[in-house]
Amino acid sequence: MKLRVDLLPKSSYGDVVVVIDVLRTCTIAPLLFDRGLEALYMSASIRRALHLAEAKDLLLVGERRGLPPEGFNYGNSPQELLTAPVAGRSAVLVSENAPRVLEQVAGARHLLLGSLYNAEAVAAHAASLAHDEVALVCSGFAGNEDLDDALCAGFLAAQLKRRFGDAELVGATLMSISLFKAFPNPTQALWRSRAGQYLRTLALEDDLATAGLLSASRTVPYLETTFHAEGAPLFRFTAHRVPVPGDQPDRHDVSAAGVGDACAR
């Protein structure tokens, strides 16, 4: 078994990939499912999101340069979404980083969204799916490596290393594990990250505290379908709940029937 950390996406992903975007897409995805969201679609295109939201009565969640675009119901703020009434609804999420990374890792057999917020659940689910490799792929910030995602990759790598025992560690795995050990309080690393510093200029520092919560969720967003109409890909996620001992597994899902027609219009 190989355990691999890429501080930015590379190429040739074939087995299990965990896409990491701590600030903030991969934090709000499990949070929304925990609050009762039925389905989550993700795109880099505001135009496509607006079209889909109108056609399918979806909530609009997203950001451009950290702030919600005009006409959106919510931004990408986990602090704001902690109290958002999303139960029973579906949403389309627009983000600058995560959709780009999802395109680059499209060859993976299984694709999960990971963050500090759902870290233990992601590690457990990735380990259960893996045949020969788990790749932890960081999104970075503005095209560069960043501390928040690398720290999260280190925690996930340490969890997976414990599960696999004799895994072959490749890429930046050892470095990221050492990085996580250097920050007993993950929120301190988020404050020092470039993404965190940028959010602080927008008075969104409360988001760092929420994103720094370690394993607050047992929910793992899992890529089920990718639609390719209208140029920019549209990704559809369902939620897999990793049970704690004594729990029964649960799965939030809705049918994709009719979505392809709406996406192709």
CATH number at residue 215: 3.90.1560.10
DSSP class of residue 117?
A: G
Q: Could you tell me whether strands 250-252 and 234-241 are parallel, antiparallel, or unpaired per DSSP bridges?
A: antiparallel
For 117, 120, 226, the CA distances from 17, given in Å and listed in that order, are: 17, 15, 15
62 has pLDDT over 70: yes
Look at the chain and report how many structural domains it folds into. 1
Taking only the tens place, the pLDDT of each residue in 100-144 is 999 999 889 999 999 999 999 999 999 999 999 999 999 999 999
Alpha carbons within 13 angstroms on the beta-carbon side of residue 244 total: 6
User: Three-class SS of residue 242?
Assistant: coil
pLDDT in tens, 1-22: 999 999 999 978 999 999 999 9
- φ/ψ of 255, rounded to 5, equals -70, 145
Main-chain phi, psi angles of 227, to 5 degrees:
-105, 140
Is residue 195 within 8 Å of 213, Cβ to Cβ?
Answer: no
pLDDT in tens, 163-209: 998 899 999 999 999 999 999 999 999 999 999 999 999 999 999 99
> What is this structure's pTM?
0.91
- Amino acid 245: pLDDT: 57
If one counts every other C-beta atom within 10 angstroms of the C-beta of residue 232, the result is 16
CA 88 to chain centre: 21
pLDDT given at position 108: 95
223-262, pLDDT tens digit by residue?
A: 999 998 777 899 999 999 999 755 544 444 333 333 344 3
Diameter of the chain measured on Cα atoms: 51
Give the single-character DSSP code of 247. Answer: P
Structural domain range at position 260: 2-264
